[in-house]
Structure 1
């Protein structure tokens, strides 16, 4: 009995000592994208590429058992790089379900898509399935054609900069803020004081220039039929149903995702093609309507964290205000 107790004690000490040197990282490592076939057969491939949720250039680190998540910009660029190296990829369908995001992230993705089209020489179609507003529509303008599901919402052409003023609240609890600064504009957009008319004019000038860039992007899109004056009337931030957007000339057709794929095959002169998508190992996608399971930004419920994170920072936004 004593021998058994001593052995148990020694074993316990060994285990405790061993535990002190264990440094286990439970966060799954971020692995390269892999390809899965969603439907179809044959050698040619049509890539289904998602842009979902808030468009941002900021990713998330892995926490606990949750894997790290690349930013929208990084994920799209990685997918385009993989598709560009694949000679069997004959077209890309950009599936968009996004209210937009930061100006920079939207513009970078637009730039990457344009560069991909010019180098790869394959058709790119944008299909707005739910929401393709503001930055989501900005990105769609890089495609050869923009279509939308009958129930989709699009438009919201405009720029936004959010700022908060808590001066009154702090005054009620007897707190004041003192800023020592090198110039009187250094703390522009400070939440602790009222904005001056001159500061508002400065920021409005930036907003107007970014709005002008948005308009030029839409006017330059393939198949655009709008003049600048017509577009300016539509670019007051409002959203449109798919039918309204088609009538206004913001999109080219109202149709479902499978219709977009069928039209692309017809335009390429091929009867058979595999519809493929890229995914992170460990996440499964079964059909063309499967969401990107690896991206927590998909869906309204999970969108909240990204939305609050975006709005809590001081950034110029191509974003439809929820």
Structure 2
């Protein structure tokens, strides 16, 4: 009876305007929290997840959900948190990505390299499913690359995706008109066919970005390929783990458990805790939790807008 009276009084107060309750529909963002996945040693091994399409764009949320930070943002925040933690003795990059935009892939690799130089701890990469194109580009920042026996890697190269909707627009009676300062201002426009000169200009940019891809592979700690040897295996094809090992693109074939054992030995703590960072409300129950992010057509086209233009991508797009 007393509860009913209290509820009735609260309703009356709200209706009369005597009280105001501010309850946001979307809760404010929380900083990253740490979760121990396994182990009980003194030192920590951070399992850093690089899954799905690599992009600098935020992931849109639902009607009552906040958009999620981009992978670039999450990796930067995670590395900053790890750098401040004296117990972090090593990092494992768990990679399951077909790649993404050139810029996002390059930023993440750069941030990992800077972290390695400052923290001076081992950083190992483990490709668990797919580590192609930009996914492999990021892996080159690690001291060593291991791939699961069934993993796919490679796809070294650059792709520029462009739709031509001129014919479709003509069929539905829509005409596009552009006023521009120069004849190249709308280069690679989806509303018309690219001219041979525009294709040549696009190819020149692709060649430079491809050259940078080769540069980062040549710079990776355990690279043993010459530039000429690297070019022969970098024509865009994908490789199984066995083929990648033979091509000297990876260093070992093994499982994530093997990489954990390896890095525990390297840091001198056989029971080192394997930890991950997460947003409160997102639970991870094992070292493989969250490893299979959705990377379908919509994900693969992240950072690419068919109407607004084209994007240069380090992306495997079958």
TM-score by length of structure 1 reads 0.89
Aligned position for 2:315 = 319
Aligned position for 2:29 = 30
Aligned position for 1:164 = 163
1:143-201, Cα deviation, whole Å (9 max, x unpaired): 00000000100010010111111112222233332211100000111112111111111
1:34 and 1:278 in contact (8 A); partners too: yes
Aligned position for 1:74 = 73
- SS across alignment from 2:141: coil
1:53-101, Cα deviation, whole Å (9 max, x unpaired): 0101111354433243110000001000000011111000000000000
Aligned position for 1:220 = 219
- SS across alignment from 2:209: helix
1:183-228, Cα deviation, whole Å (9 max, x unpaired): 0000111112111111111110000000000000001101101111
Measured at CA, do residues 278 and 13 of structure 1 come closer, stay the same or move farther in structure 2, by a change above 3 Å? Answer: closer
Aligned position for 1:252 = 251
Q: Is 1:310 aligned to residue 303 of structure 2?
A: yes
1:221-256, Cα deviation, whole Å (9 max, x unpaired): 011011111111111111101111011100000000
2:11 and 2:92 mapped to 1: Cα distance? 59
Aligned position for 2:230 = 231
2:133 and 2:155 in contact (8 A); partners too: yes
Aligned position for 2:140 = 141
Aligned position for 2:129 = 130
Q: Shift in Å at residue 269 of structure 1?
A: 2.9
Aligned position for 1:192 = 191
How do 1:270-285 and structure 2 match up within 5 A? 270-285=269-284
- SS across alignment from 2:26: coil
1:96 and 1:132 in contact (8 A); partners too: yes
1:242-277, Cα deviation, whole Å (9 max, x unpaired): 111011100000000010010111222332211111
Deviates more, 1:307-316 or 1:165-174: 307-316
Q: Shift in Å at residue 284 of structure 1?
A: 1.2
Aligned position for 2:3 = none
- SS across alignment from 1:46: strand
- SS across alignment from 1:131: strand
Aligned position for 2:4 = none
Aligned position for 1:59 = 58
Q: Is 1:299 aligned to residue 294 of structure 2?
A: yes
- SS across alignment from 2:41: coil
1:169 and 1:305 mapped to 2: Cα distance? 21
- RMSD of aligned residue pairs (Cα, Å): 2.3
Aligned position for 1:5 = none
Q: Shift in Å at residue 22 of structure 1?
A: 6.7
Q: Is 1:94 aligned to residue 93 of structure 2?
A: yes
Long gaps (5+) in structure 2: 1-7
Deviating 4+ runs (over 6 angstroms): 11-14
1:67 and 1:168 mapped to 2: Cα distance? 38
How many residues align? The count is 308
1:271 and 1:171 mapped to 2: Cα distance? 67
1:198 and 1:145 mapped to 2: Cα distance? 42
Q: Shift in Å at residue 304 of structure 1?
A: 4.2
1:100 and 1:106 in contact (8 A); partners too: yes
Q: Is 1:105 aligned to residue 104 of structure 2?
A: yes
Q: Shift in Å at residue 13 of structure 1?
A: 8.8
